[in-house]
Chain A
Amino acid sequence: MKGEIVLEAKGINKYFFSPEKTQVLKEVTFQISKGEFVSVVGKSGCGKSTLLYILSTMDTDYEGALFIDREEMNTKSQKYHSKIRNEKIGFVFQFHYLLNEFSVLENVMIPGLKLGKYSREELEHRAMEKLKIFGMQGHALKKANQLSGGEKQRVAITRALINDPLIIMGDEPSGNLDKKNGDIVFSIFKELTQEFHQTLLIVTHDQDFAAATDRIIEMEDGRIIRQ
Chain B
Amino acid sequence: MKISLTLEIAKSLMLARLKQTTVAAVGVTFSLTMFVALLGFMNGLNTMLDGLILNRTPHIRFYNEVKPNPNQPIDQSEEFGDYYNIIRSIKPSASRISIHNNEAIVKTLQEDPRVLGVAPKISAQVFYNVGTINITGVINGIDVEAEADLFFFQDYVTAGNYIDLKNTANSIILGKGAADRMMAEIGDVIQATTAQGNRIQLKVVGYYQSGLGDLDNVQSYASIATTQKMLGETASYITDVQVKLKDLALAPSMAREYRDVFGIDADDIQTVNAQFETGTRIRTLISYAVGITLLIVSGFGIYNILNMMIYEKMDTIAILKAIGFSGRDVNNIFIAIALTIGFVGGGAGLILGFLAGLGIERIPFETEALPTIKTFPVDFNPKYYLIGGVFGLVTTYFAGYFPARKASSVDPVDIIRGK
Q: Are A82 and B5 in contact (CB under 8 A)?
A: no
0/1 interface trace, chain B 299-340, chain A, CB 8 Å (1 if under)? 000000000000000011011111111111100000000000
| Interface flag for B413 (CB, 8 Å) | yes
List which B211-231 residues lie within 8 A (CB) of chain A: none
Residue from the list A79, A102, A113, A171 in contact with B326, Cβ < 8 A: A79
Knowing A58-B322, A114-B325 are in contact, say whether A94-B5 is a contact too (CB < 8 A).
no
| Interface flag for B416 (CB, 8 Å) | yes
| Interface flag for A125 (CB, 8 Å) | no
Q: Are A101 and B16 in contact (CB under 8 A)?
A: yes
Closest to B315 in A: A97
List which B387-419 residues lie within 8 A (CB) of chain A: 411-413, 416-417, 419
Knowing A82-B324, A101-B12 are in contact, say whether A58-B413 is a contact too (CB < 8 A).
yes
Residue from the list B1, B318, B413 in contact with A114, Cβ < 8 A: B1
Q: Are B327 and A78 in contact (CB under 8 A)?
A: yes
Q: Are B323 and A159 in contact (CB under 8 A)?
A: yes
Q: Are A94 and B419 in contact (CB under 8 A)?
A: yes
The distance from the CB of B411 to the nearest CB of chain A, in whole angstroms, is: 8
The distance from the CB of B185 to the nearest CB of chain A, in whole angstroms, is: 79
Q: Are B323 and A114 in contact (CB under 8 A)?
A: yes
0/1 interface trace, chain A 76-95, chain B, CB 8 Å (1 if under)? 00110011111100010111
Instruction: Report the Cα distance A87→B324, complex, angstroms.
Output: 8
> CB-CB < 8 A to A110: which residues of B?
5, 9, 320, 323
Q: Are A82 and B413 in contact (CB under 8 A)?
A: no
> CB-CB < 8 A to A86: which residues of B?
323-325
Q: Are A78 and B12 in contact (CB under 8 A)?
A: no
Knowing A82-B324, A113-B5 are in contact, say whether A53-B413 is a contact too (CB < 8 A).
yes
List which A128-157 residues lie within 8 A (CB) of chain B: none
Instruction: Report the Cα distance A93→B415, complex, angstroms.
Output: 12
Which of B1, B319, B323, B416 has the largest count of A CB atoms less than 10 A from its CB? B323
> CB-CB < 8 A to B19: which residues of A?
none
Q: Are A100 and B16 in contact (CB under 8 A)?
A: yes
Knowing A49-B417, A53-B413 are in contact, say whether A101-B322 is a contact too (CB < 8 A).
no
Q: Are B416 and A97 in contact (CB under 8 A)?
A: yes
Instruction: Report the Cα distance A110→B328, complex, angstroms.
Output: 16
Instruction: Report the Cα distance A116→B322, complex, angstroms.
Output: 17
Instruction: Report the Cα distance A58→B319, complex, angstroms.
Output: 11
The distance from the CB of B16 to the nearest CB of chain A, in whole angstroms, is: 4
The distance from the CB of A84 to the nearest CB of chain B, in whole angstroms, is: 8
The distance from the CB of A93 to the nearest CB of chain B, in whole angstroms, is: 6
Knowing A49-B417, A53-B413, A95-B419 are in contact, say whether A111-B16 is a contact too (CB < 8 A).
no
The distance from the CB of B413 to the nearest CB of chain A, in whole angstroms, is: 5
The distance from the CB of B5 to the nearest CB of chain A, in whole angstroms, is: 5
The distance from the CB of A167 to the nearest CB of chain B, in whole angstroms, is: 14
Knowing A49-B417, A59-B413 are in contact, say whether A115-B16 is a contact too (CB < 8 A).
no
> CB-CB < 8 A to A171: which residues of B?
416
Closest to A176 in B: B419
| Interface flag for A99 (CB, 8 Å) | yes
Q: Are A116 and B2 in contact (CB under 8 A)?
A: yes
> CB-CB < 8 A to B419: which residues of A?
94-95
> CB-CB < 8 A to B316: which residues of A?
99-101
> CB-CB < 8 A to B16: which residues of A?
100-101
Q: Are B323 and A79 in contact (CB under 8 A)?
A: no
Instruction: Report the Cα distance A123→B8, complex, angstroms.
Output: 16
Instruction: Report the Cα distance A97→B415, complex, angstroms.
Output: 11
Instruction: Report the Cα distance A110→B330, complex, angstroms.
Output: 13
Knowing A100-B16, A116-B2 are in contact, say whether A111-B324 is a contact too (CB < 8 A).
yes
Which of A82, A98, A111, A116 has the largest count of B CB atoms less than 10 A from its CB? A82
A-B contact pairs, 30 of them (CB 8 A): A49-B417, A53-B413, A53-B416, A56-B322, A58-B322, A58-B413, A78-B327, A79-B326, A79-B327, A79-B328, A82-B321, A82-B329, A83-B324, A84-B324, A85-B322, A85-B323, A86-B324, A93-B322, A93-B416, A97-B318, A99-B12, A99-B320, A100-B16, A110-B9, A111-B324, A113-B2, A114-B323, A114-B329, A115-B324, A171-B416
Interface residues of B (CB under 8 A from A): 1-2, 5, 8-9, 12-13, 15-16, 315-316, 318-329, 411-413, 416-417, 419
Other than A53-B417, A116-B2, A171-B416, give 14 A-B pairs with Cβ distance below 8 A: A56-B322, A58-B321, A58-B322, A79-B328, A82-B325, A84-B324, A85-B322, A85-B324, A91-B322, A97-B318, A100-B316, A101-B12, A106-B12, A114-B323
Return the 3 tightest CB-CB contacts between A and B, nearest first: A86-B324, A82-B326, A101-B12
